[in-house]
Amino acid sequence: MRGRKEARTAPCIHDVGELAASAAATTTAAATAAAATGATGAGAATGAGAAVAGAGAAVTEAGAKAAAGAFLSAGLYPLPGLFLRGKAQALTKLVLRKVLRPYLSLILSPVLHLILGQNRACAKHPEGQGKSKRQLPDQHEHLLCCRYRGTMNHWHTSTFWSTATALTPGPKIDKGQGDQSPEVPMPFRRKKISIIGAGQVGATCALMAASRDMGDVVLLDRAEGTAKGKALDILQAGAVQLFDGTVHGTIDYADTAGSDVVVVTAGSPRRPGLTRDDLLAINAGVVSSCCREIRNTSPEAVVIMVTNPLDAMTFIAHRELGFPRQRVLGMAGVLDSARFRTFVAEELGVSVRDVQALVLGGHGDSMVPMPRHCFVGGVPLTQLLTPERIQALVERARRGGDEIVGLLATGSAYYAPAASIVQMAEAILRNQRRILPCAALLEGEYGVEGLFVGVPCLLGGGGLERVCEFELDETERAAFERSVAKVRALVDDLSRLGL
Average pLDDT over residues 486-497: 90
Q: Does 206 fall in a domain?
A: no
Q: pLDDT tens digit string along 471-483?
A: 999 999 999 999 9
d(CA 226, CA 198): 7
Residue 363 annotated to the active site: yes
Q: What pLDDT is recorded for position 56?
A: 42
The boundaries of the domain holding residue 359 are 329-496
Instruction: Give residue 66's pLDDT.
Output: 61
> In the prediction, which pLDDT does 359 show?
92
**pLDDT for residue 156:** 39
pLDDT at 383: 94
Domain boundary among 135, 167, 199: 167
Q: What is the pLDDT of residues 45-86, one digit of tens each?
A: 444 444 444 444 444 555 555 655 665 565 565 666 666 666
For residue 417, pLDDT over 80 is answered with yes
pLDDT of res. 74: 57
- CA dist 93 and 80 (Å) reads 7
**Which is more confidently placed, 185 or 498?**
498
What does each C-alpha distance from 419 to 202, 325, 361, 426 come to in angstroms? 11, 23, 20, 10
pLDDT value, residue 332: 87
Check residue 91 and give its pLDDT. Answer: 73
Residue 75 lies in a domain: yes
Which has the minimum average pLDDT: 137-151, 240-254, 300-314, 340-354?
137-151
What is the average per-residue pLDDT within 270-291? 85
Per-residue confidence at 214, pLDDT binned at 50, 70, 90?
very high
- Average pLDDT, integer, range 20-32: 46
> Can you give the pLDDT at residue 236?
96
State yes or no: pLDDT of 182 exceeds 70.
Answer: no
Any domain includes 344:
yes
**Percentage of the chain exceeding pLDDT 70:** 63
pLDDT of residue 426 exceeding 90:
yes
Mean pLDDT score, 207-231: 95
Catalytic residue among 113, 248, 318, 363: 363
- CA 394 to centroid of chain Cα atoms: 39
Structural domain includes residue 279: no
Of the candidates 347, 402, 404, 405, the residue with the CA atom closest to the CA atom of residue 376:
347
At residue 350, the 3 state secondary structure works out as coil
**CATH number where 492 lies:** 3.90.110.10
Lowest mean pLDDT among 9-13, 96-100, 318-322, 490-494: 9-13
Considering its fold, how many domains does the chain have in total? 2
For residue 240, what is the enclosing H or E element? helix 224-241
**Whole-number average pLDDT of the chain:** 77
3-state secondary structure 200-239: HHHHHHHHHHHHCCCCEEEEECCCHHHHHHHHHHHHHHHH
Is 190 in contact with 145 (CB distance < 8 Å)? Answer: no
Decide: 48 and 39 in contact? Cβ < 8 Å: no
The pLDDT of residue 68 is 59
The DSSP secondary structure of 363-374, one letter per residue, reads SSTT-EE-GGG-
Identify the pLDDT of residue 164.
41
Q: End of a domain among 151, 167, 183? A: 167
Note every long-range contact of 34-41, with CB atoms under 8 Å and residues 24 or more positions apart, other chains counting: 34/74, 34/78, 39/78, 39/81, 40/82, 41/78, 41/79, 41/82
Which tens digit of pLDDT belongs to each residue from 337-363?
Answer: 999 999 999 999 999 999 999 999 988
Say what percent of the chain tops pLDDT 90: 51
Q: Which range (103-112, 167-176, 193-202, 429-438) has the least confidence?
A: 167-176
219 in a domain, yes or no? Answer: no
Answer yes or no: is 221 within a domain. no
Residue 147: is its pLDDT beyond 90?
no
- pLDDT > 70? residue 142: no
End of a domain among 110, 134, 167?
A: 167
pLDDT tier at 113 (50, 70, 90 boundaries)? Answer: low
Decide if 248 is inside a domain: no
- Give the residue-averaged pLDDT of 229-247: 94
Burial class (CB in 10 A: 0-12, 13-18, 19+), 136: middle
